[in-house]
Structure 1
Amino acid sequence: MIIGPPDTPYEFGFFEFIMKFSRDYPRKSPSVTALTTNSGRSRFNPNIYSNGRVCLSILGTWRGERGEEWSAAQGLESILISIQSLMSGNPYENEPGFEDANDPSDKKNQRDYVQKIHHETIRVTVIMRLEEYLGLVHNRLGRLNQAERCNMVEDIDIDGQDEQSVPFEPFKDLCKRRFLWYYDSYLASVRKAMGEVAEGQRFTQMPFEGASNTMEGKFCYGELEQRLIGIKKALDDETTRWAVEGKEAVEQGATVSVNLRRQYEQAVEAFKRDGTPHNIELEGNNPFVWVVTYFGKPMTNLDGGLFRFRLMLSPRFPQEQPRARFEVNIFHHRIAKDGTPCYVVKPNKREDVRSHIEAIIDALEEENPPYDPRTLVNPEAHKLYWGTPDDRKLYNRKLRRTVQDSLEAGF
């Protein structure tokens, strides 16, 4: 899976590819096929066809200059970087023969192409994918009239699968967690686009698009906004249900419940031993709901703050990773508006709940972090934090204000 780069029409979209390695690898490159094609109806790039073909010189599927061909010294990373480089701010320029950026009609095509790529990235790669994961597609149809079913025909048939099938979904949990990270960014980009294109306006066909290798449809941002809101609510409801399912797992003596209770006891002891001021407890003695009280680090903008966040765990942990939520508003570039923290746990620590707590605290307290657009989970705070010196001062004031508010809020 490649997550679309920020500041492009592919921003935070979920694009899947399948790579097959022959016995001749690494002397020969693997074959690469795009899986995110809306069942062959969406061509997401001049070099990524609706039938899944990926045209790159490194793969031998496109003629290139000397030195651009595959060599045994290259590997998977080279291929991924090459594919991601296609997902640029102006993908129209990837098509050979349409490079005259000064031509007025060409300029218009470039703008129109970016607009429809952005729309379909949100609709197909994010919304359709999450609705399928959450079982929302069929539930929604009964509430829509024909006029409201904008581009709905494409939505129903998802790769020819029916409700009874159990597809291989290695990125299901990842996409759910990343959606919670980028929810505000999705909404902001949709609302911005509403003022740029007319609702119901049909996509412009590009000169390089053919009848069987194109991207057709119309702009329906109003509907996309509501569907994004519906997905967010469904994910929140799913997270809440984990607590109920967890209690049932405890009653049944499930191994995961015994493991989590033991982890909790070890985490409490470790925090006491390390002299950590933070507190951990189980809500309702449920090992699937951890409540952490965080005390702001002295001599930082968090000094004096008292924040509580809840860590919800699935009965299918660690296959489904924890979801965290701060209960008190905190203005921080790594905390989404709804309180969802953006943090990363090392792969070998994913089964350790304490490591998740420590990773959240590290993200909160990190000093002078390197710029990383993948952590854009709070657009306003992110813009101020990485802006001008005056922007940073405003960011610090807003953060300090929420720290003061946290003391007044209490628990």
Structure 2
Amino acid sequence: MSNHSIIRITRELSDLQKSSDLSLAVACRDVDVRNVKAIIVGPPDTPYEFGFFEFSVRFGKDYPGKAPAVTATTTNGGRCRYNPNIYAGGKVCLSILGTWRGERGEEWSSAQGLESILISIQSLMSSNPYENEPGFETANDEGDKKNQKDYVAKIRHETLRISVIQRLEEYLGISPSGAVQPQVSLMIDDSDGDFDSSEVDREEYDEASVHFDPFKDLCKRRFLWYYDSYLLAISKAKTEVTDGQNFTRMPFECPGNGMDGKFNYTELERRLRLIRKTMDEETERWAAEGLASKKKESGVASNLQRQYEQVVESYKRDKNVTLDIELVDKNPFVWAITYFGRPMTNLDGGLFRIKLFFSPRFPEEQPRARFETQLFHHRIASDGTPCYTAKRAEDVKSHIEAIIEALEEESPPYDPRTLVNPEAAKLFWGSEDDKKMYNRKLRRAVQRSMEE
């Protein structure tokens, strides 16, 4: 590969990693920029909503003169076709990739790049993916309309089951039944909902690729953000389909390249709640692991202790923000923050207690924040998990600043990927009367914070 290609790929990766786009993430091993992993978070208001869809991208020596090879890897071991243009075997049919016949001007050019490829794939994940099938424009009978609805229904189910639930179970080392699995990275779900410990085809995943999993922490943090949305999607779907009901096979699907199975939202909800419980236990376990790490005088413990002392001193000098910070049980891996609401805002007079839990593997694993003071806010989930993005992952003060910024922002741009409290978001972005109700509920929560 020429130096020009390597420089181009490296720049594209850097630009994407610095981007504020919450939908896309990319990573590669330092020694091999030609082999990239990418993840697309399913767009809101589609059956793919907040799913985690992974792709492998392999750049040839002639890039950017020729498009890279892109393979979908979130396929349940080659069993699930998520879209008319995303096959169960991993093929992604797009004109810019040269894998589909496109109109003139839609083919690949060196002006395009990794970001444009990922955005093109993301555009396939629409509210009506059935329309991606060729010939859709001429099919308007009643049967076709029913197929569109049925297709959306089963994609929503499999998005939750495979891209969210199965992925998190693998990360946490639990099976659908709740048993601890000693080796889970290659386990796949049977399409009927039973668990199968057979291995993924080695031709699809080489060993190095399997063990390089750069999105584990990202998916865990996003799971906490979107947990309420997942439960809401299940609650809604339960009114539309029944457990045990078979998926409808689409006209363009065939054995080995389709999406077969049965609905079982009751089981998905149970598994989702078990994941959440296991995640909470993992967060609490960090505290004990942290104390052991402190006794060993590990580098992470020393780093967090030093950052704690620096952050405390910094906020003592900052007259614009009033907050207290202390270590819980003198443990540098658990910070207790008390934030005082800024005057002349909806938070004026409030007293908000927040805990920051740090992993012994910080900053590879990012801290998990939790509001212990109940607050009705579109950026704070019902369990107290705030949705924020730190500018500098390794800098604790950057995390605290991002949390406060998310809390105080009065006129944020609309971004449904940051709305982690569905009830509060519906009011905040609703009518004038809805917004008044939101402000009343927020103020009541602020007043209660002073009474606790």
TM-score normalised by the shorter chain: which range applies?
Answer: over 0.9
Residue 374 of structure 2 is matched in structure 1 by: 329
Contact 1:327 1:339 in 2 (8 A): yes
Residue 350 of structure 1 is matched in structure 2 by: 393
In structure 1, how many angstroms separate the alpha carbons of the residues matched to 2:339 and 2:345? Answer: 14
In structure 2, how many angstroms separate the alpha carbons of the residues matched to 1:317 and 1:155? Answer: 33
Per the alignment, do residues 384 and 155 of structure 1 end up closer, same or farther by CA in structure 2, a change over 3 Å counting?
farther
Count of residues paired in the alignment: 399
Determine whether 1:73 maps to 2:114. Answer: no
SS in structure 2 at match of 1:297: coil
Per the alignment, do residues 202 and 390 of structure 1 end up closer, same or farther by CA in structure 2, a change over 3 Å counting?
same
Residue 367 of structure 1 is matched in structure 2 by: 410
Per the alignment, do residues 182 and 324 of structure 1 end up closer, same or farther by CA in structure 2, a change over 3 Å counting?
same
How far did residue 65 of structure 1 move? 0.4
Question: Per-residue CA shift, 1:224-278, capped at 9, x if unaligned?
Answer: 0111100000000000000000000011111110110000000000001112311
How far did residue 158 of structure 1 move? 6.1
Per the alignment, do residues 110 and 158 of structure 1 end up closer, same or farther by CA in structure 2, a change over 3 Å counting?
farther
Residue identity (%): 67
**Partner AA of 1:330 in structure 2:** L
TM-score normalised by L of structure 2:
0.86
Residue 259 of structure 2 is matched in structure 1 by: 215
How far did residue 155 of structure 1 move? 5.3
How far did residue 191 of structure 1 move? 1.0
Contact 2:81 2:257 in 1 (8 A): yes
**Partner AA of 2:42 in structure 1:** G
In structure 2, how many angstroms separate the alpha carbons of the residues matched to 1:159 and 1:408? Answer: 55
How far did residue 141 of structure 1 move? 5.9
Alignment of 1:377-392 (within 5 A): 377-392=420-435
In structure 1, how many angstroms separate the alpha carbons of the residues matched to 2:239 and 2:191? Answer: 18
Contact 2:290 2:331 in 1 (8 A): yes
Question: Per-residue CA shift, 1:319-369, capped at 9, x if unaligned?
Answer: 0000000001100000000000000112xx110111101110000001211
In structure 2, how many angstroms separate the alpha carbons of the residues matched to 1:340 and 1:102? Answer: 44
SS in structure 2 at match of 1:16: strand
Contact 1:12 1:182 in 2 (8 A): yes
Question: Per-residue CA shift, 1:284-305, capped at 9, x if unaligned?
Answer: 0000000100101110110010
**Partner AA of 2:405 in structure 1:** D
SS in structure 2 at match of 1:288: strand
SS in structure 2 at match of 1:55: coil
Where does the alignment leave 5 or more consecutive residues of structure 1 unmatched? 143-148
Determine whether 1:39 maps to 2:77. Answer: yes
How far did residue 101 of structure 1 move? 5.1
In structure 2, how many angstroms separate the alpha carbons of the residues matched to 1:330 and 1:281? Answer: 21
SS in structure 1 at match of 2:379: coil
Question: Per-residue CA shift, 1:381-404, capped at 9, x if unaligned?
Answer: 011111111110000000000000
Question: Per-residue CA shift, 1:163-218, capped at 9, x if unaligned?
Answer: x9972211000000000000000000011101100110010100000111011100
Residue 281 of structure 1 is matched in structure 2 by: 326
For 1:151, which of 180, 186, 192 is the aligned residue? 192
Determine whether 1:293 maps to 2:338. Answer: yes
Deviates more, 1:269-278 or 1:376-385: 269-278
How far did residue 376 of structure 1 move? 2.0
Residue 240 of structure 1 is matched in structure 2 by: 284
**Partner AA of 2:351 in structure 1:** L
SS in structure 1 at match of 2:56: strand
- Structure with the larger RCO, 1 or 2 (CA within 8 Å, 6+ apart): 1
**Partner AA of 2:340 in structure 1:** F
In structure 2, how many angstroms separate the alpha carbons of the residues matched to 1:20 and 1:289? Answer: 41
Question: Per-residue CA shift, 1:13-46, capped at 9, x if unaligned?
Answer: 0000011111111111111000000000000000
Contact 2:79 2:191 in 1 (8 A): no
Determine whether 1:25 maps to 2:63. Answer: yes
In structure 1, how many angstroms separate the alpha carbons of the residues matched to 2:199 and 2:265? Answer: 21
Residue 352 of structure 2 is matched in structure 1 by: 307
SS in structure 1 at match of 2:178: helix
Determine whether 1:93 maps to 2:134. Answer: no
In structure 2, how many angstroms separate the alpha carbons of the residues matched to 1:379 and 1:277? Answer: 29
TM-score normalised by L of structure 1:
0.94
Residue 449 of structure 2 is matched in structure 1 by: 406
Alignment of 1:97-116 (within 5 A): 97-100=135-138, 102-116=140-154
**Partner AA of 1:282 in structure 2:** L
Residue 240 of structure 2 is matched in structure 1 by: 196
In structure 2, how many angstroms separate the alpha carbons of the residues matched to 1:256 and 1:63? Answer: 52
**Partner AA of 1:395 in structure 2:** Y
Question: Per-residue CA shift, 1:117-169, capped at 9, x if unaligned?
Answer: 00000000000000010011176369xxxxxx9824455446369xx997221
Determine whether 1:176 maps to 2:217. Answer: no
**Partner AA of 1:199 in structure 2:** D
Per the alignment, do residues 28 and 113 of structure 1 end up closer, same or farther by CA in structure 2, a change over 3 Å counting?
same
**Partner AA of 1:22 in structure 2:** G
For 2:94, which of 53, 56, 62 is the aligned residue? 56
Contact 2:341 2:347 in 1 (8 A): yes
**Partner AA of 2:84 in structure 1:** P
Where does the alignment leave 5 or more consecutive residues of structure 2 unmatched? 1-38, 181-189
In structure 1, how many angstroms separate the alpha carbons of the residues matched to 2:373 and 2:342? Answer: 17
**Partner AA of 1:262 in structure 2:** R
Contact 2:169 2:176 in 1 (8 A): no
Residue 394 of structure 1 is matched in structure 2 by: 437
Determine whether 1:339 maps to 2:384. Answer: yes
Contact 1:328 1:406 in 2 (8 A): yes
**Partner AA of 1:281 in structure 2:** E
